[in-house]
Amino acid sequence: MEERIASPAKTIQILQENDFRFSKKFGQNFLIDLHVLGKIIRAAEIGPDDICVEIGPGIGSLTQELAEHAAQVIAVEIDDRLIPILEENLADYPNVRLIHADFLKLDLSAELIRMGVERPIKVIANLPYYITTPIIMQLFESGIPLANMTVMVQEEVARRMQAGPGTKDYGALSLAVQYYAQAEIMAYVPQNCFMPRPNVRSAVIRLKAYKEKPVRARDEKQMFDLIKAAFGERRKQLANSIANYPGLSYDKNRVAAALEALGLSAQIRGEALTLEQFAALSDALDELKAEGE
Ligand code: SAM
C-alpha cells in the first residue's frame, strides 16, 4: 500500500513539494498520526453506506481515511492553495467531492439536495479552532439531518460540551450542544499528533444527534436567553442575572416566584440548573406573565 497522506514523512513531502506555508488565520494544524485517524473513524462509526461531510480537509489526511471507509465524502475547504493539492492527493478516490468554500457561508442543505443526498449525514472534522462553536451551532440549527458529528476540538472546549450541572466546565455551550445531541469525549489527543504543534491539547468529541429534542420549551429563544443570562453572571443568583439581562423583561420577584413554583430555591445560581429546569423555568415565567396580564 502506498504511504498514507497522514504519515509524517508523506505530509512533509507534500508540504515541501508544494512549498506550502501554514496559515494561522485558517487554524491549520494537520494531523500526522494514523492511530488518531483510526480513532476518529471508529468513534464516528463510519460504514460503507455513510455519507460524510468533512470540514477543512487540509492536505487530505482524514479525507483519505474517510474515502476508504465511507460511501461518499464531501469535503469543504476554504484555502485556495489547498485545492490543487487535494485534487492531486485524492485523485484515486472518485467518492470524494471537493467544495472550495467557507463552510460558514456555504448552503450545505442546498448542496446536499443538489447531490441527491437523502439520508442523515455524518460530519467529521479536525476543526479550525477559531470557529469551532459557530460551525457546530450552525450545523445543529440548520436542521440538516445529522447522524452524528465527530470532531477534534480543543480539550477545554470538549470538556465544556460534555459537562453537566454543578461542574466548573458547565455553561451555555454545554446546554446549547446537549439540546441537540448526546456529547461524549472519545479520545484525548496530545500536541505532537499535529503539524505544526498547537499550543493546547485536543480531544475528539462525538455528538450523537437526538431524533427528538430532550426538552421542549414553549419559547426556545427565551430559554436560551435565560441560559445566556445565567452564565453571563455565573457567580450571581439566577433571579438577579435574569432581572439584569437586557434581552429579558422579568423582575427579580417574578423570577423568584417562578423558581419557587418549580420547587427550586429563589437564591439558586444558574449553574445548578439542568436543561429540563431551564425549559421549565421558561414556561413558568410565561405562565406568570399571562396571569399578571
Ligand atoms: N483535516 C486536516 C487534518 O486533519 O490534517 C486539516 C485540519 S486543520 C485543523 C483545519 C482546516 O480547516 C484547514 O485545512 C483550514 O484551511 C480549513 N478551514 C479553516 N477555516 C475554514 C472555513 N471557514 N471553511 C472551510 N475550511 C476551513
Indicate whether 293 pLDDT > 70: no
The pLDDT, as a whole number, for residue 136 is 96
The residue among 39, 44, 46, 52 whose CA lies nearest residue 69 is 46
Q: What is the mean pLDDT of the chain?
A: 95
Task: Specify which residues 77 forms β-bridges with.
Answer: 100
Helix-helix angle 220-232:275-292, to 10 degrees: 110
SS3 176: helix
pLDDT in tens, 199-212: 999 999 999 999 99
Which residue's alpha carbon is at the smallest distance from atom 10 of ligand 1? 128
Which residue's alpha carbon is at the smallest distance from atom 18 of ligand 1? 56
Please tell me the distance from the alpha carbon of residue 82 to that of residue 189, in angstroms, as a whole number: 24
The ligand 1 site (C-beta within 6 Å) comprises: 26-31, 55-58, 61-62, 76-79, 82, 102-104, 126, 128, 131
Indicate whether 1 pLDDT > 70: no
Which residue's alpha carbon is at the smallest distance from atom 5 of ligand 1? 30
| Other CB atoms within 10 Å distance of the CB of residue 42 | 14
**Nearest atom, ligand 1, residue 104 CA:** 23
The pLDDT, as a whole number, for residue 291 is 76
The pLDDT, as a whole number, for residue 290 is 73
Distance 54 CA to ligand 1 centre (A): 9
- Ordered by where they begin, the domains of the chain are 8-209 (3.40.50.150), 220-292 (1.10.8.100)
**152, exposed or middle or buried, with CB in 10 Å at 0-12, 13-18, 19+?**
buried
Indicate whether 172 pLDDT > 90: yes
Give yes or no for a contact between 194 and 32, defined as CB atoms under 8 angstroms apart: yes
**Nearest atom, ligand 1, residue 23 CA:** 16
Indicate whether 110 pLDDT > 80: yes
pLDDT > 70: percent of the chain: 99
Q: What is the mean pLDDT of residues 232-261?
A: 93
Q: What is the largest CA-CA distance in the chain?
A: 73
The pLDDT, as a whole number, for residue 135 is 97
Tell which one of 126, 127, 191 to mutate to probe ligand 1, the residue whose CB is within 8 A of the most ligand atoms: 126
The pLDDT, as a whole number, for residue 70 is 98
Which residue's alpha carbon is at the smallest distance from atom 6 of ligand 1? 58
Q: What is the mean pLDDT of residues 74-87?
A: 98
Q: What is the mean pLDDT of residues 251-276?
A: 95
**Nearest atom, ligand 1, residue 57 CA:** 1
Tell which one of 4, 30, 64, 130 to mutate to probe ligand 1, the residue whose CB is within 8 A of the most ligand atoms: 30
Q: What is the pTM of this model?
A: 0.94
The pLDDT, as a whole number, for residue 16 is 98
**71, exposed or middle or buried, with CB in 10 Å at 0-12, 13-18, 19+?**
middle
Distance 78 CA to ligand 1 centre (A): 7
- Cell digits for 64? 483519505
Which residue's alpha carbon is at the smallest distance from atom 8 of ligand 1? 28
- Residues contacting 195, CB < 8 A, separation 6+: 8, 11, 12, 15, 29, 30, 32
Distance 227 CA to ligand 1 centre (A): 30
Tell which one of 25, 55, 76 to mutate to probe ligand 1, the residue whose CB is within 8 A of the most ligand atoms: 55
The pLDDT, as a whole number, for residue 3 is 87
